[in-house]
Structure 1
């Protein structure tokens, strides 16, 4: 095992390795990386290519460049290795000077059903952290497949436009594997505290305020928050409640509930604080309370408030409003479109994944007998 030292040489410097697909990066991924970072001093995250993921699991929702960017923005990540091997080897750990590898307590397998961490486990250079219950990429895909009129049926089957049917990914009752099966996140104050820095602005800090839904936190949100943070020292994100988001976005939005969205935003390294259930209109009380120097909004027009008023009327009036372009045209709706366009492939992918998990679970249970 490699020995790493701090620059001052006073104590061991532990490097930790994590790897994965990190597709549709959500707070479950972030929580796993938070736990991994707590086991050492420096966290390196390897992210697989689109080709590797397609070979072993099926097509990812986000492309590799989008996934690299999303992982780099998670506050506990120190370094990202692009195109990391799908199977984690001792050679990879040694190449990057990592003492051990960390992964969640779920199952990760190759296309032929082999444990991707077999080698590092046998060498004693593997650590396991608790998987975040109630959230998975599979679950989010299922929610999106139930979002549109052509796919919306909360019963036993999910019907497409041609009248074909398949077992819906949104039904937990049909799931047999605890890993691929869907579930719902149960929020706690402890989890929010784990994700929050809990640091108030320093004296003299320029406070920036932005607000929105930030549903299915993605690269468009990320680029916007990075640009907003450049205008100050302390970035506060106001998150609207589920009913408010539903009012201005319609359909069955938001896909992720308020508490899920809070953790997703808090995991971003550009964000200093979150206002949970922020008022839709930015009022004088809000600006004064947080001592906001500038209110920033993206280029997408803001829907009027219930009374028809401009939600940014006050900060505009006092000269504390600015429109900022993220430079990225990604939207939550575009992600949903990707899923709907390839819904059969995603359903088949998750069926194959679940079948392999069930087979491995059975073999592990038989080995215990």
Structure 2
């Protein structure tokens, strides 16, 4: 489809003007975050507008995250100044005036409303529209497909097999397999490229021949930029960005002044959980987390072994290590691994001068998302068909993935 792109759609606005970017924000990913970032760069106050569950069902299909959960996520994004909780799917000029907003913002893909028309046609005609580049390579539909595949892997999702799998994960250094944290030179270069893209300071960890942790690439070392702050560290796969992820990280941040988040590599997650994992690549997981206002620093290729974690805590002068309460036995390994990676608290207390803080598991977790998926399987399949039929690319020139 050929289309004329109005130059006014990409021009800056004054600081006292307000821009509205509406969306479903279901299965929140870095494409959503990048859209909010681009919208903020127009120069005014950014208002994120969410749609109700009923509105999404009417126009697109069945959402997997609840309305309140999607609101919680967008409120946590660092570029969002305000949130409108109940916006219509097709935003009109009168809607913008009701919300006291000057411009609607959307990607260069045409969003089709329930009436079959461009959802933003009215704001475009009124000169109240701004366009951003849609981020290629990631979508809620893609993530949904990967979740459906993962849901068919009972060895990972069944809680009764947790103990043996957890023991296997803890002992993998002793087995005749390469350590997941040992990476090649080309892999380290790729990780440095990822670190340089993130929207917060970051670093990459490699294991040296002496098995000592070393930082490479990224931005200035974390502890050198925070000499007088209480540093909190936590780690995990962070495979999905959901309301539970946000809540856990907010609670972790409240334990100190600066939150450092360690993210496990794709290789490590795959080794622990199987070929269906991770659902989202390390690059996309890191970009998404770096958009959260509570995350100050990110460590890529974070260690999972106790001795390596202890070395990292000491290197960063971490005062508090935030872990997940593991009292709940009916959770899968995938859910245990997603954040607050568990370590033997007694051993850490003996070897490290900092403190370990336990955070209760949020209501929303990987397991609860998979359960919803199983309960909505028929509706979800319909959602696939609806989503795939409602995107028309306008092919705005430029690099869609500049972050």
Q: TM-score, normalised by structure 1?
A: 0.76
- Matched residue, 2:281: 257
| Aligned ranges 1:89-104 → 2 under 5 Å | 89-104=92-107
CA distance in 2, matches of 1:190, 1:275: 11
* Greater mean alpha carbon deviation, residues 187-196 or residues 232-241: 187-196
Secondary structure of the equivalent of 2:91? coil
Which residue of 193, 199, 202 corresponds with 2:226? Answer: 202
CA distance in 2, matches of 1:257, 1:357: 24
- 1:45 to 2:48 alignment: yes
- 1:316 to 2:319 alignment: no
Secondary structure of the equivalent of 2:90? coil
Secondary structure of the equivalent of 2:234? strand
Q: Return structure 1 stretches of 4+ with deviation > 4 angstroms.
A: 197-200, 301-304, 309-314
Secondary structure of the equivalent of 1:94? helix
- Please state how far the C-alpha of 1:122 moved relative to its aligned partner: 0.6
Partners of 1:228 and 1:324 within 8 A in 2 = no
CA distance in 1, matches of 2:298, 2:291: 11
- Residue-pair matches, total: 312
CA distance in 2, matches of 1:272, 1:100: 30
- 1:59 to 2:62 alignment: yes
- Please state how far the C-alpha of 1:251 moved relative to its aligned partner: 6.5
| Aligned ranges 1:1-369 → 2 under 5 Å | 12-149=15-152, 189=193, 192-193=196-197, 195-196=199-200, 201-250=225-274, 252-280=276-304, 281=306, 282-300=308-326, 310=343, 315-317=348-350, 318-326=352-360, 328-357=362-391
- Please state how far the C-alpha of 1:131 moved relative to its aligned partner: 1.0
C-alpha spacing 1:345/1:114, structure 2 compared with 1 (3 Å): same
Secondary structure of the equivalent of 1:195? coil
Q: TM-score, normalised by structure 2?
A: 0.70
Partners of 2:47 and 2:83 within 8 A in 1 = yes
Secondary structure of the equivalent of 1:103? strand
- Matched residue, 1:181: none
Output the aligned Cα RMSD: 2.8
- Matched residue, 2:181: none
Partners of 1:295 and 1:315 within 8 A in 2 = no
Secondary structure of the equivalent of 1:324? strand
- Please state how far the C-alpha of 1:190 moved relative to its aligned partner: 7.3
Tell me which of the two structures has the higher relative contact order, counting C-alpha pairs closer than 8 angstroms and 6 or more residues apart: 2
CA distance in 2, matches of 1:202, 1:110: 48
Which structure 2 segments of 5+ residues have no match?
Answer: 1-13, 155-189, 202-218, 328-332, 395-403
Which structure 1 segments of 5+ residues have no match?
Answer: 1-10, 152-185, 362-369
CA distance in 1, matches of 2:365, 2:153: 20
C-alpha spacing 1:60/1:12, structure 2 compared with 1 (3 Å): closer
CA distance in 2, matches of 1:81, 1:135: 25
CA distance in 2, matches of 1:48, 1:111: 14
CA distance in 2, matches of 1:357, 1:106: 6
- Please state how far the C-alpha of 1:242 moved relative to its aligned partner: 2.0
1:303-334 alpha-carbon deviations (Å, 9 max, x no partner) = 89xxxx95666642234232332462221132
CA distance in 2, matches of 1:349, 1:244: 32
Secondary structure of the equivalent of 1:131? coil
C-alpha spacing 1:188/1:136, structure 2 compared with 1 (3 Å): farther
